[in-house]
């Protein structure tokens, strides 16, 4: 599906990749300035960017979570949804190429 998006509007894909690259740099910068991690404003808040194994099934958010956790990329039954019970049983937000193109 992402290949079809790339072939249909490559400039939009590139724009999304550039935005993602800036976001990854922003995460690194925020960590350097002490704005991410433990004890940030009296709580813990961190961001991590992960790349999937590339299998089609990894496009399913729960399958991607399983792969990141080191397991087999198999979709999980929902509910519970990743926003409440996601990566390592913690609330998780997942974005993919389609979302970056918006």
- pLDDT attached to residue 58: 62
- pLDDT attached to residue 88: 92
CA–CA separation, 36 vs 12, rounded Å?
A: 29
- pLDDT attached to residue 84: 93
Widest CA span in the chain: 46
pLDDT tens track for 45-55: 777 766 666 66
pLDDT tier, 2 (very low <50, low <70, confident <90, very high otherwise):
low
- Sorted by where each begins, the domain ranges of the chain are 1-49, 50-96
Radius of gyration, alpha carbons of the chain: 15
Q: How many CB atoms lie within 10 A of CB 100?
A: 16
* Mean local confidence (pLDDT), 84-102: 77
């Amino acid at each position: 599906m992402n290949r079809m998006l790339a072939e249909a509007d490559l400039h939009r894909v590139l724009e999304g990749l550039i935005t993602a690259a800036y976001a990854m740099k922003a995460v690194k910068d925020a960590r350097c300035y002490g704005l991410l991690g433990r004890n940030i404003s009296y709580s813990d808040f961190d961001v991590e960017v992960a790349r999937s194994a590339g299998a089609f099934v990894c496009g399913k958010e729960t399958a991607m979570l399983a792969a990141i956790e080191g397991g087999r990329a198999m979709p999980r039954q929902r509910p519970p949804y990743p926003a409440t019970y996601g990566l390592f049983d913690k609330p998780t937000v997942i974005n993919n190429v389609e979302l970056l193109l918006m």
